[in-house]
Amino acid sequence: MKVALRMSQLHVPTLKEDPAEAELASHRLLLRAGLIRKAAAGIYTFLPLGWRVLRKVEQIVRDEMDAIGCQEMLMPAVQPAELWIESGRWDVYGPELMRLKDRHGRDFCLGPTHEEIITATVRDELRSYRQLPISLYQIQVKFRDEVRPRFGLLRGREFIMKDAYSFHATQESLQEHYDAQARAYGRICERLGLDYRPVVAESGQIGGSVTTEFMALAENGEAALVYCDCGWAANVEAAATVVPRNPAATEPRDLEKVHTPDIRTIAELSTFLGIAEHDTVKTMAGKVAVEGEGAGKRDSTDERLVFFCVPGDRELNPVKAGWAMPGVQLLDEADFEKHDLPKGSLGPIAPPEGALVIADRSLEGEVSWGIGANENDYHFLGAMPGRDFEVDEWADLVIAEPGDGCPVCGGELKGARGIEVSQVFQLGTKYSEAMGATFSDEQGNERPFIMGCYGVGITRSLAAVIEQHNDENGIVWPMSVTPLEVAIIPLGMEPEVFGPAEEIWRALADNGIEVVIDDRDERAGVKFADNDLIGFPYQVVVGKKGLAEEAVELKNRRTGERSMVPLADAVSRVAWLVAEEREKFCH
Ligand code: ATP
Ligand code: MG
């Protein structure tokens, strides 16, 4: 289909000023370049050029899904509560789930994801191992009532996702498709022009699920990553890590109780006690429900306390706390009151009865800890595990940091930030078991489907592209997703100038190039600024001066390079450049 547009007729309301609410480049530029408009917090309208980009991103994702045999379908955005009750998520999903009632008072939600619907669909239709494996996907609007919708399209409340779900008879079959999806996700990132890294998202989870996140690298990304030259990379939320330790106190000393009034921070404590911050130990308390005699009619006393000890200069990673003690929840203010615990002086010596002590592995072998005394305003110096208290378990508990050791090769980890654009996940039988979705295997036994799910944030990816491809003048689109490939900018509306400009415009469109002519009766400066802001990869400037020498000016938006091209060659030159750039993003 020919794409030859006129700027005068396009609805691209560019803004001269930076919108005050936009902190990140992608948010600012999406608004300024007239691609999106806000309808409510985290909810946006796509204007014509934004919509063009969105459809290109979708098409790349669609191509790559089709190429691995994943079949497109479409599920409803409105989902009946019954399915969520079956899977057990109606109660646990929390306020992020947008719930509504129909006129009969029945409960529904706006889908934040579609495991329930797809599992229910497949459960009723697929019966035999002979029909497996199967992989299905959709490109759909999703709803999540995020606590803090922000950064424009990066964290919305209504956003578009490609979500795929696969069903298998065996783990090997799941692994094979999971790998194919992961490879497709890599290609999607490449075709979008994203500088990205696949990262381990839950490496330490013993016997747990396998998952990889794809991170678009970005200084302002919400996610923190660590990576090693050996190729290993992980989200710090889930990064196993080897904490380098260099305790100053290497000899055991006597246990000494110290009065530490008004000490609030680790820095204050280390100064007060006269020991290095990394020789102090922080203790954080959590609780787990226990199945005891009272199980079934469990009251609030049926919980066990867990003390987590980590080096004073490091942070406890709540995800890892959960790996060490599944189901653990860190205590809140009310819990501290209930158990009458001294929040600022917790420690492993004489913990409350029944409490477990789990300490970070890096502390193993250290003989002199500066720790809380489980008494307000008191700490111990010289506390020694094995002598003064027992550690029930040593585990990797801290948030990984650059400078730590790589869990694979021991090399030094480096840090980066990223935007999670997509994620692949081995679900196993979590949903199929909960929802009774089974098939009969070769022996005729009923078995739950083994499932995988795979999500690409379409709108988030679009924003990530801009986050990586912009300069002080605006967006610099990769050819693969640019709203239009070439802009023709006539410097004047008089026929001697506009005529040749229009001819180039028509000829390029005839050559299958997506082209716009800036036919607005505006000053050259305004046109240049807008075309740079919107970020068309090539601009052809047609002016009297050039035409006098039978030439037009060709500008490369990315490099800023300008060159004069003979009028007669303009069309073929531009068509060739566009073709070459398109080629870069084909795989
Ligand atoms: P996050 O941790 O950033 O909240 P998530 O891990 O909950 O995201 P998934 O359930 O894995 O998200 O969803 C798949 C993809 O959908 C994500 O990789 C991301 O690209 C996109 N996505 C998730 N939440 C949002 C959102 N609020 N706005 C835009 N895109 C989103
Ligand atoms: Mg995710």
Question: pLDDT (tens digit, 9 = 90+) per residue, 280-309?
Answer: 999 999 999 987 655 444 444 589 999 999
Residue nearest to atom 22 of ligand 1 (CA): 457
> CA-CA-CA-CA torsion for 69, 71, 72, 77, nearest 10 degrees?
-130
- The atom of ligand 1 lying closest to the CA of 214 is 18
Q: Among candidates 265, 266, 291, which has minimal Cα distance to 277? A: 266
Which contiguous run of DSSP H or E holds residue 224?
strand 223-227
Distances in Å between the Cα of 474 and the Cα atoms of 16, 27, 35, 112, 189 are 11, 12, 12, 32, 22
Find the ligand nearest to 453 CA. 1
- The atom of ligand 1 lying closest to the CA of 113 is 10
Ligand 2 centroid to residue 414 C-alpha, Å? 22
Q: Are 36 and 22 in contact (CB under 8 A)?
A: no
Distances in Å between the Cα of 148 and the Cα atoms of 26, 42, 230 are 17, 9, 36
Half-sphere exposure of 231 (CA within 13 A, CB side): 0
How far apart are the C-alpha atoms of 253 and 453, rounded to whole Å?
54
Q: Are 548 and 492 in contact (CB under 8 A)?
A: no
Find the ligand nearest to 141 CA. 1
Amino acid, single-letter form, for residue 212: T
For the chain, give the mean pLDDT: 94
More confident: 80 or 586 = 80
Find the ligand nearest to 464 CA. 1
Residue nearest to atom 13 of ligand 1 (CA): 455
> CA-CA-CA-CA torsion for 149, 203, 318, 222, nearest 10 degrees?
-30
Tell me the pLDDT tens digit for each residue of 111-160.
Answer: 999 999 999 999 989 999 999 999 999 999 999 999 999 999 999 999 99
How far apart are the C-alpha atoms of 238 and 400, rounded to whole Å?
8
Ligand 2 centroid to residue 14 C-alpha, Å? 33
Q: What is the pLDDT of residue 147?
A: 94
Ligand 1 centroid to residue 32 C-alpha, Å? 25
How far apart are the C-alpha atoms of 420 and 400, rounded to whole Å?
18
Tell me the pLDDT tens digit for each residue of 453-500.
Answer: 999 999 999 999 999 999 999 999 999 999 999 999 999 999 999 999
Q: Supply the pTM of this predicted model.
A: 0.90
Q: What is the pLDDT of residue 292?
A: 62
Q: What is the pLDDT of residue 278?
A: 87
Tell me the pLDDT tens digit for each residue of 177-189.
Answer: 999 999 999 999 9
How far apart are the C-alpha atoms of 305 and 356, rounded to whole Å?
6
Q: What is the pLDDT of residue 237?
A: 87
How far apart are the C-alpha atoms of 467 and 155, rounded to whole Å?
13
Write down the H helix ranges in 230-355: 266-273, 318-324, 333-339
Q: Is the dihedral of CA 86, 92, 96, 102 positive or negative?
A: positive
Tell me the pLDDT tens digit for each residue of 320-362.
Answer: 999 899 999 999 999 999 999 998 899 999 999 999 999 999 9
- The atom of ligand 1 lying closest to the CA of 222 is 3
How far apart are the C-alpha atoms of 403 and 313, rounded to whole Å?
13
pLDDT at 203 over 70: no
Phi and psi of 414, rounded to 5°? -110, 165
Ligand 2 centroid to residue 410 C-alpha, Å? 27
Residue nearest to atom 2 of ligand 1 (CA): 420
- The atom of ligand 1 lying closest to the CA of 153 is 29
The residue to mutate among 420, 421, 465, having the most atoms of ligand 1 within 8 angstroms of its beta carbon, is 420
Over range 5-9, report the average pLDDT. Answer: 97
Find the ligand nearest to 43 CA. 1
Rg (CA), the chain: 30
Residue with tokens 């795929």: 164
User: What DSSP state is assigned to residue 404?
Assistant: S
Q: Are 469 and 507 in contact (CB under 8 A)?
A: no
User: 10 Å Cβ neighbour count for 349?
Assistant: 19
Phi and psi of 503, rounded to 5°? -65, -45
SS3 content of the chain, % helix, strand, coil (to 5): 30, 30, 40
Band of residue 42 on the pLDDT scale cut at 50, 70, 90: very high
How far apart are the C-alpha atoms of 542 and 492, rounded to whole Å?
9
Q: What is the pLDDT of residue 298?
A: 45
User: 10 Å Cβ neighbour count for 125?
Assistant: 9
Would you say the CB of residue 142 lies under 6 angstroms from ligand 1? no
* Strand arrangement of the beta sheet that strand 98-101 belongs to: 78-80, 107-110, 98-101
Coil, helix or strand for 577?
helix
Band of residue 206 on the pLDDT scale cut at 50, 70, 90: very low
pLDDT at 233 over 70: yes
pLDDT at 208 over 60: no
> Which two tokens mark 370?
């500066």
Lowest-pLDDT range of 40-49, 129-138, 361-370: 361-370
Q: Are 467 and 218 in contact (CB under 8 A)?
A: yes
Write down the H helix ranges in 274-316: none
